Structures are given as C-alpha cells and as structure tokens.
Structure 1
C-alpha cells in the first residue's frame, strides 16, 4: 500500500518562461525576487530537498547532497490561470487560454445575471483586488444590497457580498446561476463566491469562499486513479478546481497551516492513493498583494512543517512539491506571472539527488503519479519515475 502526496505551493514560480513577454511577465521570478527583498530565508528543509539546485534558481542555498530530486517544468497550455496550471498537472492541456475580461463583463452577461438572479443592480464589474474592492464598494453594497461583481487577469467571475446583507446560501445560489451561464463562448474557468463581514473601514473576507469550476476538458489523473480503486483526497481548493471530477473525499481549509494539518490527517487516514493539496495563501495573501516579505515568511512556515510530513510517510510513499504558476510579488503587476514551476520529489525508497531537468510540461507530474501506481493512461506527458528508481 502506498500513497502519492502532491503539495502545490500556489504561485511559487521559479523564473519566467520563454514566452513570458507575450504575457507581460518579463523579469518575473517569484522565488528569487522574494530573496532579493527578504535576504536569506530559513528554509533548510526545502534547500535539503534541492530547491536551490533547480536550474535558474539563485536565491536559496544549493545542496551538495540533496535528500530529494529536483527540476522545473514548462507550461504547455496557453494562459497562467490557477485552473489552467492544475488541469495541466492532471493531464489536460489548453490550446487556447480561458476567457478573461480585462474591461469587465459585457452588458449582455450582466443583464442575464440580473434577470436570472432577480437582482436590481450590481456594483463593480471591473478588474480589481478582492480586498481593495470591498474597501471601495463595501459600504455602498451594505446600503444598496447590490452584489459586487469583479474579475482579475484570471478567468474568473467573482461575487463579493456581506454575509449579513446577502446570506451565504443566497450568494452560493447566485454563483451556481452564474456558473450555468458562463459556458461556451462566454466560459470562465471559475465562478467564485467571496463573502465578507465587518463594518466600513474594517471589512474582512471570510473562509466561506467557494469556487465553481468547469469540468476538465478531458480525462485527468484524478479520474484514472479513482477508476482504479484509489482514494483521491483533495485538500483546499483542489475539489473546486477539478469540479469534483475524480475526487473521492475532500476538505476545505482556512489557511496554509490548516492545509498542512488536513494533509497530515489524510496521511493517517488514506491507505492507498493520492493526497492532493493546494496551499493558497502564497498566492491569495501575498502574491496578489505584492507582499514579498509576507510571502517569504509563508515559505518559511511551510518549510517548518515538512518534517511532520516526512514523519508520516511510509517507506513506499512519494512526496511531490510543485506550483501551478507564478505570482511575483515584486513586480508592478498584482496578477499571476508566466513562470516555470519547481518540482521536488522525495521518497524513502526513491533515489535522491537526481536532477530532473526542465520538463516539457506540467503533465509530467500527473504522468509520473499514474506510473507510480502502474496505471495505464492516455494523458500527454513523460514520467520521470524511472529516474528515481
């Protein structure tokens, strides 16, 4: 009996991709640029795995004898969205990016939303930071009762509402209606409920966020695992990103440390299969808010929990640590950045110190996990498991 534990450090990119110019992301390097702001980080466990040995990474210390194997991966899909990155890890490649709305949503979309939700009006309909837009429009929302609609550089339709003005149940229903609307030519990757509480000057988003994703466009690693009798335990927003497809059990989280706690709980509960975790604070709290020091501290906090993960691994388990895109907190942009993602692998029976090089797609991660469980599959990618045996 064995498990694969896949932990996504959401947005921890390791350098601009060759096509970064097309996305306005020249100069982005989430990890190294955090080092330039913070100086040395106390991440001995990640350094011992080999994070500083990855090609193009210059901030962390290199290890002379890494206990893990290390590499980086290019993104084959078009875009730099959360859904795009995670789907590619699972084996789905997008030939064209999911729709984005840099000028806000069309009058047609807004009118359809108003009609179907029986709302008299909306606020916003702009590209905005979630924390900033509730500062700007929260009081007017409380006064009018109108939901706040906004988007970002991602393919998202977000609805913010005060929990005492629009109930959680009503907000979720609005999101379900929007999800049904935003398909086909109008499709967005996710519709997101963004509830908040508090009073003017002190509005705070709550942990009652919920994401409504599209179904992946083809069969994913998760579905192959489930069909072969494996558990697929999703921690954080993984369940939402894959729209529950291939997930056998799931738990949402309040923050990164809660995500590690829930991962450890599943490691004590799941006997065979995949534990798939997303730690979103890196992206949501620090990358998008251009808080390099906060981001650095969050990396240190995760590093401090790695030994607990090791301690709960059986001899046959495999741990993979990766990301889904970049979100460089040191650039002028507050959006995701088109970057390589790191790949760190550890297992008590796996080789250590193996350089995995630059993988040609995030799909190599999903391919390797399916290879680990000896599951035949048709997803695109090249397993690197043989290098680790």
Structure 2
C-alpha cells in the first residue's frame, strides 16, 4: 500500500476571529470556542491531535501531551464561503470577491431563468434556508413556482419540493441557472435545495447538489491526477471543484455516512488523496444557531476520527481543517471570517509540533504535493518537512 492522505474538512469549524474579521462584520466570532463554552463538547481525539494547543484561541489549554501536529490557518481569499475556502485549501487563492446579492438578483437574471425553466419564481431575496421553505413552501406547492433565494455568500439557491419538482428536473434547472450566471454575475455556486414534508413541517433533504464555477487556476487535485494518483472526493468535493481533478466521487450523504465511507476507503489499496467534506456542522447547526446540535455533531465526528486514526497505515497522513466559520452562538446565521484548525497525524510523523499560524489555507495543498513528490506551484508554503520524522 502506497502513500495516502486523508484530508477531512470540518465544514465551518472555525477556531476564532481572523485579523480581518471586522471587515466582514464578524468581530467576536468563535465557532469552536462557542461549542467549548456550551459545556456539551467531548472531543478526546481532536484533543489528542492538539486542538486545545492551538495558540491564540479562546480555548487554549495545553495540558496534555498530544499525538498530532497542530496550528491554525488564516484565509487569504476575498471571501468566507465554501467555494473559495476549499479552492484555497487546494492551492488557489481567490483575490477577487465573488458577486453577492443583498437585495436579490436583477430582473434580467430572473427573467432569463424563468424563460429557460418554464417556471415562475418566488422570493428572490437573501433568506435562511429553513425559513424560506416555511414562508414560501405552500405557495410553491400550490403554483409550482421555484423558490429562488441567496445569502451573504455568492450563491443562487433553488428550493423545490421533491413531489412538485422531481430531483432531476431541479438539477437541470440548476444547470440552466449555472449557464446564465457567468461573467459579472458568476456566483460561486448554484445550489439545489430539495425539501419534503407537509406544511409547517417541511424538511430539507440530503439530495442537495452544488453546481460550482471551475477553480480559476490549477489545484493540487489537478496536479495529483496528472501524476496518475487517485483523487477521491467524499461529500460535496466533486461539486465544489466542478469535477476538476477528481478521479472518483461519493456524493454527500451527511456527516455520519461520509465518515463511514471514508473508513471503507481506508480498506482499499490506493495511492493518493481522499478529500472529505463534512457539511452538517454548517448546514444543520451553524446556520440554524443550534449550539448544542453543533457540539453533538462534533462529538460524533470525533468518535469516527478516532476510528480513522486506529486504522491508518504506516505511511498514511490524516489532515483535519475547515473552510470558514459559522458560529452558532454569533449574531445572524451567516458564515464567519475565522482562522481554521490545521491538525495532522501519522505513524511516521513527529508528535506535538506547533505549526503556528499559517498565512494561507493553501499551505495544505503544497504540503500534500510534497508528500507525493509532485511538482506544484500553488499559492501556499509546505510544512511537510516540519512534521516528517527523519529516516
């Protein structure tokens, strides 16, 4: 069995406000700290990897020896969303912010979309995903009109009841929107948001699907694929990168199933990267200001992280990070501009190395390139030599 990297993105698990948080109206945000202060958090495996040793955090408490290497990462990209966060993790910094629509999309966009889909639209405002189906769901079911909404992020979201608009039709409507939303209106993601149930108990399903722009430059995924390494995406990874650089994909089925899939992949003999997104923290708890639910989800993921650590082979590398914050105890329901954790573990790695504060998420990409000896000129700086045990 050759070298393998398992890169787990704890979607939205930030570790405290970034230096420029004020520019994003996020001064004081602290996602992981909020969960710590809830008194409901029990994450012994993240603790063993060194999360409480990360300097500069509100929860800094370096009491125990650790088995991993640890640090925090500052985002360079002009945004705080999933797309630019993942792209930067994969080596590409987005210097220009993607367009957002705090007052809804212009009429020209909506008219093109309605003509293309043959359906009318409802809402066209920034909205919470759960609130929008509560407020517009009945009219949607009655009329068949698509619920179009956005958020503080660069997204065009389309909600539809699965009994009213079949999934494949909803996905095709998203492809049509993606074709329209280019150039100055090139939003980061068009997102299908299917839901089920009866009013007032509508519920979103795991059949969400994201239709992203392609990354603006070569990612480490592309470099690995060109070098004939496996690049396996679990969860939203394929969607976030519009399929570029991915050799095999397993779509999002929620945190628990995504981690189970990753554990199954550990039994496979492959050489390359397994890139995993765990979106429930963000989608189910951060955006809903559910502190206890967020902490409980972290507790469950921590148990599965422990299982991953036990199953790792002699040359496997586990890397755990996040793409932004979404503090469930903070004002509003939007993403928050935060540092993210960088936790690394492997049987052939040093223990207890403080990686400090990294200047870009892209340091992860450059480190992965070094693991496999792949030439890659991304926007980051490798820390592989810092953590590798000399042989």
Question: What corresponds to 2:31 in structure 1?
Answer: 30
Aligned 8 A contact 1:324 1:341 in 2: yes
Question: What corresponds to 2:299 in structure 1?
Answer: 300
Residue 267 of structure 2 aligns to a residue in which SS?
helix
Task: Return the offset for 1:42.
Answer: 1.3
Report which stretch shifted further, 164-173 or 53-62: 53-62
1:113 paired to 2:113 = yes
Task: Return the offset for 1:259.
Answer: 1.1
Question: What corresponds to 2:7 in structure 1?
Answer: 6
Task: Return the offset for 1:311.
Answer: 2.2
Question: What corresponds to 1:373 in structure 2?
Answer: 372
Distance in 2, matches of 1:98 and 1:27, equals 24
Task: Return the offset for 1:60.
Answer: 6.6
Residue 192 of structure 1 aligns to a residue in which SS?
strand
Aligned 8 A contact 1:30 1:327 in 2: yes
Distance in 2, matches of 1:207 and 1:49, equals 30
Deviation track 1:293-338 (CA, whole Å, cap 9, x = no partner) reads: 1111111111111221012211001000000000011111100000
Unaligned ranges ≥5, structure 2: none
Alignment CA distance shift 1:63-1:45 (3 Å)? farther
Distance in 2, matches of 1:39 and 1:58, equals 14
Residue 304 of structure 1 aligns to a residue in which SS?
helix
Distance in 2, matches of 1:335 and 1:166, equals 28
Distance in 1, matches of 2:61 and 2:55, equals 13
Question: What corresponds to 1:286 in structure 2?
Answer: 285
Unaligned ranges ≥5, structure 1: none
Q: TM-score when scaled to structure 2?
A: 0.97
Residue 13 of structure 1 aligns to a residue in which SS?
coil
Distance in 1, matches of 2:60 and 2:296, equals 14
Deviation track 1:195-220 (CA, whole Å, cap 9, x = no partner) reads: 11111111111221111000100000
Aligned pairs for 1:1-389 (under 5 A) are 1-36=2-37, 38-39=38-39, 41-59=41-59, 61-119=61-119, 121-389=120-388
Residue 335 of structure 2 aligns to a residue in which SS?
coil
Alignment CA distance shift 1:40-1:134 (3 Å)? closer
Aligned 8 A contact 2:40 2:296 in 1: no
Aligned 8 A contact 1:47 1:62 in 2: no
Aligned 8 A contact 1:47 1:63 in 2: no
Deviation track 1:243-273 (CA, whole Å, cap 9, x = no partner) reads: 0000000001321111110111122225210
Task: Return the offset for 1:133.
Answer: 0.6
Residue 67 of structure 2 aligns to a residue in which SS?
coil
Residue 305 of structure 1 aligns to a residue in which SS?
helix
Residue 312 of structure 2 aligns to a residue in which SS?
coil
Distance in 2, matches of 1:30 and 1:140, equals 35
* Regions of 4+ moved over 6 Å: none
Alignment CA distance shift 1:85-1:10 (3 Å)? same
Task: Return the offset for 1:57.
Answer: 2.4
Aligned 8 A contact 1:225 1:232 in 2: yes
